[in-house]
Amino acid sequence: MITAEIIAVGSELLLGGQTDTNSVFLAELLAEQGIEVRFKTVVGDEIDDMCGALTVASKRATIVLVTGGLGPTVDDLTREAVAKVTGKSLGLRSHALRSIKARFQLAGRTVSENQRRQAFLPSGSYLLRNSAGTAPGFFLQWKRCQIFCLPGVSHEARRMFTESVLPILIKKEYVGLPIEIRTLHTFGLIEGVIDERIKGVVPASSGIRLGMLASPLGVSISLTMNHGLNVVKGKASKKDENKNKALLELYVDEISRKLVSSVYGFDDQTMEEIIGEHLTAKGLILALAESCTGGLIGHRLTQVPGSSAYVDRDVVCYSNQAKRELLGVSERLLVKHGAVSAQVAKAMAKGIRERSAVDLGLSVTGIAGPGGGTETKPVGLVYVGLATPKKTFTKEFRFHGDRNMVKLRSSQGALDVLRRWLVGLPISEK
């Protein structure tokens, strides 16, 4: 199997505040070609550390993609590191220098000595043209490994991969059928429970890798299948591809049956998109009353194009006074049960529905933290209310995490309550 490793170069990536986005899109582009990324490494601008990362990567991967460190400054040392590891010397490439000069002339500037450094590449390497920037990339075959060095600027790296790297991979017959990934998104079950329920569904002999990722939005289950190169001139057969896809769908269906109502979407679907589709299909209009989430539910729903067809309004009623004035929640109810209670969530949902004259009213009230909790009403206690034409429902949640996580989980919980009602499922799973 052809495997790859990505090395992101830059001390700024290790100091916080700067995210390595190149590794994400490069892994996706490689997966589209059936090439699996087995390792991702982030290394600072120390040449010995870079040499160490390159040495290890070249032993365990067929393809090594290095991003960053090709610029004109003293900390741009990727060229030097590759030359040192491979035992090559750096030499001036006239074609690379001409390309850099042409780029600068367009901007009315002259090439400095520092900029000229970018045209020095390891001997035996092949120039990778940068059509989006000044720093040239290069490709070097060393032992059994193919080393590609790309700029750290994301749009430059992406274009260089598409225009220069991919044609080389195709020529070397390293590409195959795309790696197939199916994802099921769930809410309401923890990883341990999911693992127990789907145990044995996907046998180890199937060649499908099962994974789980927990987040404030729930647990996502991924099934990954690499068709591989069924070595007929580096191409996998269409018959095998169809057979593998059918097998993958079989396991997706079986997991869905095991998890029943907890599965809310697949692949790139989001909860808010699912909600929008159901509201549109049923011709229903929704109004929101948010307390602890501070408008987050409305924000998520209105991120979906066309949401004005089913979202009427979103009232952020954070204080008790706002709940009384905007939703008609009674003072007696607030005093007797407190703002964070099933009774108040119910009154909020009914109030926003009646005052908006819409089909559905959805409310949320809770304690996001870090303060404000008590022994009987701890941080993370959240109530959701849903007022429908015939009945009003409430559901209690106990979330954990910091303030942002509680707010995000609360928004997902509220949307899941709405989803369940829309598709005819019980609000609470028994």
pLDDT value of position 235: 53
Tell whether omega for the bond before 370 is within 30 degrees of 0, i.e. cis.
yes
Give dist(CA 63, CA 194) in Å, integer. 36
Query: Would residue 116 be called left, alpha or beta, if left means φ above 0 and alpha means ψ between -120 and 50 degrees?
Result: alpha
Q: Which domains does the chain have, with CATH numbers?
A: 3-171 (3.40.980.10), 180-266 (3.30.70.2860), 271-422 (3.90.950.20)
Phi, psi of 59 (to 5 degrees): -85, -25
Residue 292: is it exposed, middle or buried by C-beta count within 10 angstroms (0-12/13-18/19+)?
buried
pLDDT in 10s for each residue of the chain, 430 residues: 789 999 999 999 999 878 899 999 999 999 999 999 999 999 999 999 999 999 999 999 999 999 999 999 999 999 999 999 999 999 999 999 999 999 898 888 889 999 999 999 999 999 999 999 999 999 999 999 999 999 999 999 999 999 999 999 999 999 988 899 999 999 999 999 999 999 999 998 888 999 999 999 999 999 998 865 433 344 556 676 788 788 899 999 999 999 989 999 999 999 999 999 999 999 999 999 999 999 999 999 999 999 999 999 999 999 999 999 999 999 999 999 999 999 999 999 999 999 999 999 999 999 999 999 999 999 999 999 999 999 999 999 999 999 999 999 999 999 999 999 999 999 976 4
Instruction: List the end-to-end C-alpha distance of the chain, in Å, as a whole number.
Output: 45
Tell me which DSSP letter residue 232 carries. Answer: B
pLDDT value of position 238: 67
Locate all alpha helices (DSSP H) within 5-131, ordered by sequence.
Answer: 22-31, 47-60, 78-86, 94-106, 113-116
In one-letter notation, the amino acid at residue 425 is L
pLDDT value of position 232: 39
Residue 113: is it exposed, middle or buried by C-beta count within 10 angstroms (0-12/13-18/19+)?
exposed
Helix, strand, coil share (%) of the chain residues, nearest 5: 40, 25, 35
Give dist(CA 84, CA 53) in Å, integer. 12
Query: Angle at Cα 201 formed by Cα 198 and Cα 207, nearest 5°?
Result: 125
pLDDT value of position 243: 80
Are 42 and 78 within 8 A, CB to CB? no
CB proximity list for 199: less than 8 A, separation 6 or greater: none
Cα separation values, 179 from 22, 30, 290, Å = 19, 9, 42
Give dist(CA 397, CA 383) in Å, integer. 6
pTM: 0.83
Among 237, 221, 216, 210, which residue's Cα sits nearest to residue 186? 221
pLDDT value of position 228: 58
